[in-house]
Chain A
């Protein structure tokens, strides 16, 4: 049986096709990040001021995605919107990975009492209803992207704490940890060299899947008016404010919505791809 195990664990036939699709997904993830970073360079116009006639149809020579109700370039606004959503999502995730990851690692490696205490605290944060907390924060501190991010980050990191803790617990029960202990390896080194590298793949997969979730969550909040205030180019807010033009000047509302969908899909495919790469490597 042993000789057959590796053959069975792989999906064989469709493997070579998947490979390429997976590569594309990861490349797309990188491309979106690049677009987000380079939006100021890529955007043809200033997104905040009117530059032409209102409601110019898309795919024209001057304005690829047309102009909106006051004559601002939709393409430029979408690019800046992508930048703000994507980078916000990455910021929230980075915060989550750092804080949640540290707490999860400490809990997972130490086990017993410390584990219980840290995880109950985590559960407490997990119990906050995200949108309600966001409304509360924004209502008390005023509408701004930063406030929304703070609200989302508070409810987001516990997921990472749980994931990292679960992975670390699983690795801690493997024989190589016991072996390392018999050689007198200290807890700090144990966590950093013997546990952490095994946790990283799961975190990377989760994080890349999560970018899409966060883009949607943040856009949803901004759709409800809980994001950056009026003139700034936010995809959710753009879709919400231009909903009234949907039947005549559809592009003003649809283009930002489309950008959200594309980001969410790419993040999902990339997450799947990374997970498959990981499982193949082991």
Chain B
């Protein structure tokens, strides 16, 4: 576990000298909902030349506010009050004039945001947007080449919507770099991207800071990403810095109990599938006194002192500090000892089949050209047994969500057959559970209408609702409140309860954890798995995260360009991928480089040639990106090659037979 989170020690940057930004005793108050709240508390931070500082924390921890403070971009409307010192290249941005601040931003500061689509002007071509920063077209072209974008000349002539997500983010980075700033604030720059593109972008950022000596403040919620990219990690909770120090040391030997929990709750490839995930038993949202440690209520080491007084900063090593009264006794970072009812990979193939999808194809009428239609699914088969969990993984655009929507009956297949063996429609847990709940209805009403049997009496209905609420751990108070007023975790549980109040034989989950904070993911997965077992529901689980797929499912189907390119037992697919595409997905997982030697890790660096996830039009869809591609890959689409009765890959290089 410790080994997997360590980043390759590539470019050694001298810390301390050549300081670009320093934050000393920073306190920030913002007005929200007509109340002033203390967002950042006594934050100290230094960013050196060419250093990447990762700011890690849950949503609401104040990490974005810190980034905005460094940029001098806190919204005026929230009437920010800043105490303490923020200096960038020696000038204190809290005391300089607006004009000087603008000058500083123009020449030495840049920002990269999460969603490049909304940060780029949709009505301007890339060329004119880049010229605002670079003045000359030549320099814009040069900047695009720096970020290894393919065909930079043609990209310049396009609008943002004509580019892929990865290309857009590259353009944003190119714009940020064009003026050769001293500091770039990157706020979750890879969260909206596919893992494979994310790996490319992270590698690119590391290269660029080495070439230009740019300092980065890298805001992220993902420890894996931080491990991959950062020299220094700063752990933030409720506006307080709890731990700060060199990435390798912190992630291998976390000193603060909160950091330990963050690391322990990460779902990794080594997670034992027969055990439940570890969740923090204490209520995360219990209020805490603003003077105490924000983690005190959840902390297993908490002393009485922790509740009332925030601990002073103490040194662990050089450049490594924590703020904790009682760091020593380490909580057991192990899975809760609840065995699942069966080891899920020992699935009984003789169990009855609940759902069959045979040769599903789907094409959408193209809007731009009259003649063409876009093929999104080609010949997808799926047989689902009672109680079985199957994961569909793949990059965005691979057709996995479309397939799920067809199974749910939300989309009509163009050809192929779906056989639902017990005639009930599958239920679906949507990706963003918040928006799948009608905001003005009460939870009770939402649950009631999901009951499939319409012949129940009032009392029976009420009882069903109470029962399902108990199953997913929702209080009566939650039942009576409107969907819009719930927290993220509650919404997720309501969405799940709505599906299981009349248990379907098949539950479809579309990225059910991707919108959740890391601390809630484990609870949601535990809940889904225990329901699937107790109700004998089969589940189809769409995810882009192979670690999640491996943990929840017995079978993984890897999709690419609307086809299933690999399928098999989840452990086998993850430990011994047959298709080079699966291998690439596994290698792209941040913080999951299993090669321990730096050379090996570096040898697996992603290709940054800017191909992104472009698909080949003829032949194997992966041929463009495949390191092993041979002539036939570019001309003929491979068919499924079986190496055992339930394990196959669609690759010309895999030897085996047809079914």
B-binding residues in A (CB < 8 A): 1-4, 6-8, 10-13, 15-16, 174-185, 189, 193-194, 197-198
Q: Identify the closest chain B residue to A198 (Cβ).
A: B440
Q: How far is the CB of A12 from chain B (nearest CB, A)?
A: 3
A1, A16, A182 pick with most chain B CB within 10 angstroms = A182
A1, A8, A12, A194 pick with most chain B CB within 10 angstroms = A1
Q: How far is the CB of B450 from chain A (nearest CB, A)?
A: 4
Additional A-B contact list (15), CB under 8 Å, known A2-B59, A7-B78, A11-B77 = A3-B64, A7-B31, A12-B77, A12-B79, A15-B34, A177-B438, A178-B436, A181-B410, A182-B425, A182-B427, A183-B427, A193-B441, A193-B449, A194-B438, A198-B439
**Those of B435-453 within 8 Å (CB) of chain A:** 435-441, 445, 449-450, 452
B75, B114, B436, B438 pick with most chain A CB within 10 angstroms = B438
Q: Is the CB of A193 within 8 A of B79?
A: no
Q: How far is the CB of B643 from chain A (nearest CB, A)?
A: 37
Q: Which residues of B contact A177 (CB under 8 A)?
A: 438
Contact among B65, B436, B449, B498 with A3 in the assembled complex (CB-CB below 8 Å): B65
Q: Is the CB of B77 within 8 A of A13?
A: yes
A15, A16, A175, A193 pick with most chain B CB within 10 angstroms = A175
Task: Please name 20 pairs of A and B residues whose Cβ atoms are closer than 8 Å in the assembled complex, sorted by A.
Answer: A2-B64, A3-B62, A7-B78, A8-B78, A12-B31, A13-B76, A13-B79, A15-B34, A174-B435, A175-B435, A176-B439, A178-B430, A178-B436, A179-B428, A179-B436, A179-B498, A182-B408, A183-B427, A189-B449, A193-B438
**Those of B70-85 within 8 Å (CB) of chain A:** 75-79
B30 interface hit (Cβ, 8 Å): yes
B203 interface hit (Cβ, 8 Å): no
Closest 3 interchain pairs by CB? A12-B77, A179-B436, A7-B78
A-binding residues in B (CB < 8 A): 30-34, 59-60, 62-65, 68, 75-79, 113-115, 187-188, 408-410, 425, 427-428, 430, 432, 435-441, 445, 449-450, 452, 495, 498
Q: Is the CB of A1 within 8 A of B425?
A: no
- Taken together as a complex, chains A and B put the C-alpha atoms of A282 and B598 apart, in Å, by 51
- Taken together as a complex, chains A and B put the C-alpha atoms of A181 and B498 apart, in Å, by 12
Q: Which residues of A contact B79 (CB under 8 A)?
A: 12-13
Q: Is the CB of B188 within 8 A of A178?
A: no
Q: Is the CB of A4 within 8 A of B68?
A: yes
Q: Which residues of A contact B408 (CB under 8 A)?
A: 182
Q: Which residues of A contact B498 (CB under 8 A)?
A: 179, 183
- Taken together as a complex, chains A and B put the C-alpha atoms of A142 and B34 apart, in Å, by 57
Q: Is the CB of A16 within 8 A of B34?
A: yes
Q: Is the CB of B114 within 8 A of A197?
A: no
- Taken together as a complex, chains A and B put the C-alpha atoms of A4 and B437 apart, in Å, by 24
- Taken together as a complex, chains A and B put the C-alpha atoms of A175 and B515 apart, in Å, by 15
Decide: A178 near B449, CB < 8 A? Known: A184-B425, A194-B441.
no
Q: Which residues of B contact A10 (CB under 8 A)?
A: 33, 77-78
Q: How far is the CB of B365 from chain A (nearest CB, A)?
A: 16
Q: Which residues of A contact B439 (CB under 8 A)?
A: 176, 198
Q: Which residues of A contact B436 (CB under 8 A)?
A: 175-176, 178-179
Q: Is the CB of B435 within 8 A of A8?
A: no
Decide: A3 near B60, CB < 8 A? Known: A180-B449, A182-B425.
yes
Q: Which residues of A contact B115 (CB under 8 A)?
A: 1
Q: Is the CB of A185 within 8 A of B77?
A: no
Contact among B31, B187, B438 with A1 in the assembled complex (CB-CB below 8 Å): B187
Q: Which residues of B contact A6 (CB under 8 A)?
A: 32-33
Q: Is the CB of A179 within 8 A of B430?
A: yes
Q: Which residues of A contact B410 (CB under 8 A)?
A: 178, 181-182
Q: Which residues of A contact B435 (CB under 8 A)?
A: 174-176
- Taken together as a complex, chains A and B put the C-alpha atoms of A15 and B31 apart, in Å, by 11
Decide: A183 near B450, CB < 8 A? Known: A6-B32, A10-B77, A175-B432.
yes
Q: Is the CB of B437 within 8 A of A179?
A: yes
Q: How far is the CB of A134 from chain B (nearest CB, A)?
A: 39
Q: Identify the closest chain A residue to B410 (Cβ).
A: A178
- Taken together as a complex, chains A and B put the C-alpha atoms of A112 and B490 apart, in Å, by 36
Q: Which residues of B contact A189 (CB under 8 A)?
A: 449
Q: Is the CB of B32 within 8 A of A193?
A: no
Q: Identify the closest chain B residue to A186 (Cβ).
A: B449
Decide: A8 near B75, CB < 8 A? Known: A175-B436, A182-B425.
yes
Q: Which residues of B contact A1 (CB under 8 A)?
A: 64, 113-115, 187-188
Q: Identify the closest chain B residue to A182 (Cβ).
A: B428
Q: Which residues of A contact B445 (CB under 8 A)?
A: 193
Q: Identify the closest chain B residue to A11 (Cβ).
A: B77
Q: Which residues of B contact A178 (CB under 8 A)?
A: 410, 430, 436
Q: How far is the CB of A10 from chain B (nearest CB, A)?
A: 6
Q: Which residues of B contact A15 (CB under 8 A)?
A: 34
Q: Identify the closest chain A residue to B498 (Cβ).
A: A183
Q: Is the CB of A4 within 8 A of B75?
A: yes
Q: Which residues of A contact B430 (CB under 8 A)?
A: 175, 178-179
Decide: A180 near B75, CB < 8 A? Known: A1-B113, A1-B114, A12-B31.
no
Q: Identify the closest chain A residue to B188 (Cβ).
A: A1
Q: Identify the closest chain A residue to B113 (Cβ).
A: A1
Q: Is the CB of B77 within 8 A of A7?
A: yes
- Taken together as a complex, chains A and B put the C-alpha atoms of A261 and B115 apart, in Å, by 48
- Taken together as a complex, chains A and B put the C-alpha atoms of A7 and B73 apart, in Å, by 13
Q: Which residues of B contact A176 (CB under 8 A)?
A: 435-439
- Taken together as a complex, chains A and B put the C-alpha atoms of A3 and B58 apart, in Å, by 11
- Taken together as a complex, chains A and B put the C-alpha atoms of A194 and B450 apart, in Å, by 13
- Taken together as a complex, chains A and B put the C-alpha atoms of A6 and B34 apart, in Å, by 12
- Taken together as a complex, chains A and B put the C-alpha atoms of A19 and B492 apart, in Å, by 34
Q: Identify the closest chain A residue to B427 (Cβ).
A: A182
Decide: A185 near B437, CB < 8 A? Known: A10-B77, A11-B77.
no
Q: Which residues of A contact B68 (CB under 8 A)?
A: 4
- Taken together as a complex, chains A and B put the C-alpha atoms of A1 and B71 apart, in Å, by 13
Q: How far is the CB of B563 from chain A (nearest CB, A)?
A: 26
Q: How far is the CB of B500 from chain A (nearest CB, A)?
A: 12
- Taken together as a complex, chains A and B put the C-alpha atoms of A197 and B482 apart, in Å, by 13
Q: Which residues of B contact A185 (CB under 8 A)?
A: 449
Q: Identify the closest chain B residue to A195 (Cβ).
A: B438
Q: How far is the CB of A201 from chain B (nearest CB, A)?
A: 10
Q: Which residues of A contact B34 (CB under 8 A)?
A: 15-16
- Taken together as a complex, chains A and B put the C-alpha atoms of A6 and B75 apart, in Å, by 11
Q: How far is the CB of B50 from chain A (nearest CB, A)?
A: 25
Q: Identify the closest chain A residue to B119 (Cβ).
A: A1
- Taken together as a complex, chains A and B put the C-alpha atoms of A4 and B75 apart, in Å, by 8
- Taken together as a complex, chains A and B put the C-alpha atoms of A181 and B75 apart, in Å, by 40
Q: Is the CB of B437 within 8 A of A8?
A: no
Q: How far is the CB of A93 from chain B (nearest CB, A)?
A: 23
- Taken together as a complex, chains A and B put the C-alpha atoms of A179 and B499 apart, in Å, by 10
- Taken together as a complex, chains A and B put the C-alpha atoms of A29 and B320 apart, in Å, by 63
Q: Which residues of B contact A198 (CB under 8 A)?
A: 439-440
A178, A181, A197 pick with most chain B CB within 10 angstroms = A178
Decide: A7 near B432, CB < 8 A? Known: A16-B34, A180-B438, A183-B449.
no
Q: Is the CB of A7 within 8 A of B30?
A: yes
Q: Identify the closest chain A residue to B64 (Cβ).
A: A3
Q: How far is the CB of B410 from chain A (nearest CB, A)?
A: 6
Contact among B62, B65, B77, B427 with A8 in the assembled complex (CB-CB below 8 Å): B77
Q: Which residues of A contact B75 (CB under 8 A)?
A: 4, 7-8, 12
A2, A8, A13 pick with most chain B CB within 10 angstroms = A2
Q: Is the CB of B59 within 8 A of A184?
A: no
Q: How far is the CB of A106 from chain B (nearest CB, A)?
A: 20
Q: Identify the closest chain A residue to B452 (Cβ).
A: A184
- Taken together as a complex, chains A and B put the C-alpha atoms of A6 and B30 apart, in Å, by 11
Q: How far is the CB of B82 from chain A (nearest CB, A)?
A: 15
Q: Identify the closest chain A residue to B114 (Cβ).
A: A1
- Taken together as a complex, chains A and B put the C-alpha atoms of A181 and B426 apart, in Å, by 12
Q: Which residues of A contact B437 (CB under 8 A)?
A: 176, 179
Q: Is the CB of B440 within 8 A of A197?
A: yes
Q: Which residues of B contact A179 (CB under 8 A)?
A: 428, 430, 436-437, 495, 498
Q: Which residues of B contact A13 (CB under 8 A)?
A: 76-77, 79
Q: Which residues of B contact A3 (CB under 8 A)?
A: 59-60, 62-65
Q: Which residues of A contact B113 (CB under 8 A)?
A: 1
